[in-house]
Amino acid sequence: MKIALAQLNYHVGNFEYNTEKIISNISEAKKLGADIVVFAELAICGYPPRDFLEFNDFISQCESATQEIAKHCLGIAAIVGLPIKNDVLEGKDLYNAAYFMADGEVKAITRKALLPTYDVFDEYRYFEPNTLFKAIDFKGKRIALTICEDLWNINDNPLYVSCPMDELIKDSPDLMINIAASPFNYRHDEDRIKILSDNAKEYKLPLFYTNQVGAQTEIIFDGGSLVFNEEGELKAEMKYFEEDLQVFDLEDVIKRPSSQILSTERPNDIAQIHDALILGIKDYFQKSGFTKAVLGLSGGIDSAIVCALACRALGAENVMAVLMPSKYSSDHSIKDALDLVGNIDCKHEIIEIAQVADAFDQVMARPFKDLPFNLTEENIQARCRGIILMAMSNKFGYILLNTSNKSECAVGYGTLYGDMCGAIGVIGDVYKTQIFQLARYINKDGELIPEHTIIKPPSAELRPDQKDSDSLPDYDVLDQILFQHIELQLGSKAIIAKGFDESLVQRILKMVNLAEFKRYQTPPILRVSPKAFGMGRRMPIVGKYMA
């Protein structure tokens, strides 16, 4: 039996697009001699559809699309994920399901049993868990078909009380197929490989795993579909951050030595973050119907990174960098920004904000009663820049890219309606220490980001001789504490016990808590870490608890 894994980039709610893509890949897999072609979880509608699932018409269109796809399953079978109605009155109205289609019709239906509700997942909000399990017979082989999370309950701390494969193995299957929508984070690929390998070893069956690729707003899918033999050895690893279609012979997977299987080289963490952010930008624009981006280019490393990534994702001709020097901007910052523009060859404008900020000072002089310069005037400058960028967006149809990093987002080091505005947060899930690594990676084949931008002390340049270090701890220490608290979910006592200064830990965690109201008002942030701000981290604004 030959099995094709179709790793595709779907578009949520775009039924015509998804259907045409699936049908095209069925045809291609058939030409390649496949007996079955396997598509991803909820491939028909895209993942995650969220509250689209509450519209009856949305579910009806999923079913109509599947019936159209079934007509093309002649001489080849297909496995396709979609939401389907639950005909039983009790329970949720839908199942997260997969159709097994052959001979022009639906031959079998598999329903997902384990419904994740952690981090970015919220499946039990919509779906009823499956309780009936049956393998699928096809061409003399018996298939144990599962959907994503159904294979993730195989560890020392089970999240669920049941395990679908424990039921399916009773049908004596010959192989396992798992269809998934497994979101990317830079630590997830190794976890995914281990979990799937453990399943193959536990049940002594070869395993074929299909993931989707592409970005849906802030969630990015990296692909990396996998094949394992019955001993849990990784036999094939498909491309990352790209669509891919490959055909595997079941007998070869079982018999061929691992050394003879060609596998995609897995990039390191920073390379994965780089590729994920480019894919995230590209898909956000393409799937929203946008083509041109604008951003504020300060001469600092954060905006330089975003500019470079945007140019790689959209083409330099579609990126407008706006330099907005203030009376406190240094000459070298302007030069650094212009050097970057010269290296990348994107569009740019220079719009000085001193006159605009001075106008605000004059207008507010009476109500401010000659009080001294403080954070208020700094924020006014940042908001002047936000107004200019939004004016460029409105006038020319640019989409504004936010350039705040995760360290800043965490402690609230940013101005609402100023440097925190934008349509999509490009690096809001990348710590400042990772930003420096990302700059070096971008420059690995030649200097794009000016060296001076990378090595100079970070500064907002909103007052004379300002440095980030005036307000924040050293980023090397700050990011370690933030990682312990955000990604590892440790409280102050546990972090202090690791050797960090008590007063510093308490200060930083207090800043994180107090900045929650700002994060509620930021744009969606491209998710690249195990715990990103946004839908994966939900905290009350007015909560009293201090970890």
Answer yes or no: is 302 a known binding residue: yes
Q: Strand runs (DSSP E) across 345-496, as ranges? A: 347-350, 399-402, 424-425
Answer yes or no: is 408 a known binding residue: yes
Closest CA to 400 of 524, 287, 315, 537: 524
Sort residue 331 into left (φ over 0), alpha (ψ -120 to 50) or beta: alpha
- Both structure tokens of 60: 């009806």
Query: Three-state SS for 199?
Result: helix
Active site (annotated) includes residue 255: no
Answer yes or no: is 491 a known binding residue: no
Count of residues in the chain:
547
Quick check: 400 and 423 in contact, CB under 8 A?
A: yes
Answer yes or no: is 499 a known binding residue: no
Strands 293-296 and 207-210: unpaired
Alpha-carbon distance of 509 to 518, in angstroms, equals 15
| Upper half-sphere CA count for residue 262 (Cβ side, 13 Å) | 4
- Taking the CA atoms of residue 462, residue 464, residue 468 and residue 469 in that order, the dihedral angle to the nearest 10 degrees is -160
Answer yes or no: is 299 a known binding residue: yes
Quick check: 64 and 85 in contact, CB under 8 A?
A: no
- Both structure tokens of 84: 């389907």
Strands 399-402 and 175-179: unpaired
Answer yes or no: is 301 a known binding residue: yes
Closest CA to 427 of 322, 277, 307: 277
Active site (annotated) includes residue 41: yes
Active site (annotated) includes residue 148: yes
CA 174 to chain centre: 34
| Candidates 30, 112, 292, 406; catalytic one | 112
Closest CA to 9 of 316, 310, 280: 280
Query: Three-state SS for 233?
Result: coil
| Candidates 45, 73, 148, 346; catalytic one | 148
Answer yes or no: is 27 a known binding residue: no
| Candidates 41, 149, 237, 461; catalytic one | 41
| Terminal-to-terminal C-alpha distance of the chain | 55
Quick check: 232 and 200 in contact, CB under 8 A?
A: yes
Bind-site residues for ATP = 296-303, 403
Bind-site residues for L-glutamine = 118, 182
Which residues participate in catalysis according to the annotation?
41, 112, 148
Bind-site residues = 118, 182, 296-303, 379, 403, 408, 518
Bind-site residues for deamido-NAD(+) = 379, 408, 518
